[in-house]
Each structure stands twice: as structure tokens, then as C-alpha cells.
């Protein structure tokens, strides 16, 4: 690993921990993504994490806060765009008709995309507005 990659890993560490400390499982390899998508039959929230300060600084708190909702996904997973590239690409392969977007959030069930919240619906919004979008999706898909 070169010095830049090591530096970015250190920069991203608190961003990773923000989600893992809230109960999200990190998927860091394509194999982990495939195993999860092929075996999980419950509604799951997938957060495509990012170091982008403007949108990711809203996405992570919104994802965590949304979990206070009565209806919520059974499983919580995350991949980190720009850090775990292969895992992120593999997760995005399950969202075939969706333009890559990070940060972003999705609800998946039985290996199928049920709902997608792209960066454009995160950046520039208040955390409460993002939470509202997520909890409406939870009520519909969970």
C-alpha cells in the first residue's frame, strides 16, 4: 500500500466506524457482497459510504437516525466507495439500471434492489429530509 492509500485509509477510518458502531456490517470484498446478496432474504439497508464531506456528512447521520423508525430493515450493510473499490463495484452490479452514485443508500431484499436514494437526493438536503425519505421507503419495503 502506498503512502496516499494509507493516508486515505486513516482519513476514512472514522467514517467507517460511524456506521459500524451503529450496527452496520462492512462488506469489503466482492465475495462478501455476493454472499450477502445471495443469502439475505430480509429487507436490508445498504449504505454506499464515501469520503465526500458534503453529501456523506449528511448520509451517515441520516442512515443512523432513520433506524429509530418503527419499521426498519432487518440487516444493515455498507461498502466504501473509493476505499473498497471491488466490493463497491460488485454491490453496484446488483443495481444494474442505476447510475453509480456515492454516497447513496438502497434497500435490497432477496438479492433485488427495492429502493435507491442517490447522492442527488442527499446532497443539499437536511438530515431530517433524508431520514423522511428513508422512513417512507422503510414503510413501503420493510
Catalytic residue numbers, as ranges: 52, 54
E-strand ranges in 15-126 read: 25-26, 44-49, 75-80, 104-109, 112-117
Cα torsion for 64, 68, 71, 75, to the nearest 10°? 40
Amino acid at each position: 500500500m502506498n503512502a496516499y492509500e494509507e493516508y486515505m485509509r486513516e482519513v476514512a477510518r472514522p467514517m467507517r466506524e460511524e456506521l459500524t458502531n451503529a450496527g452496520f456490517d462492512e462488506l469489503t470484498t466482492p465475495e462478501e457482497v455476493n454472499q450477502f446478496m445471495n443469502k439475505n432474504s430480509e429487507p436490508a439497508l445498504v449504505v454506499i459510504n464515501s469520503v465526500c464531506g458534503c453529501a456523506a456528512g449528511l448520509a451517515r447521520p441520516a442512515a443512523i437516525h432513520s433506524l429509530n423508525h418503527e419499521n426498519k430493515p432487518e440487516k444493515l450493510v455498507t461498502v466504501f466507495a473509493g476505499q473498497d473499490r471491488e466490493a463497491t463495484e460488485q454491490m453496484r452490479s446488483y443495481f444494474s439500471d442505476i447510475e453509480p452514485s456515492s454516497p447513496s443508500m438502497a434497500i435490497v431484499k432477496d438479492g433485488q434492489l427495492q429502493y435507491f436514494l442517490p447522492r442527488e437526493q442527499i446532497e443539499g438536503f437536511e438530515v431530517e429530509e433524508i431520514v423522511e425519505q428513508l422512513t417512507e421507503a422503510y414503510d413501503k419495503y420493510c
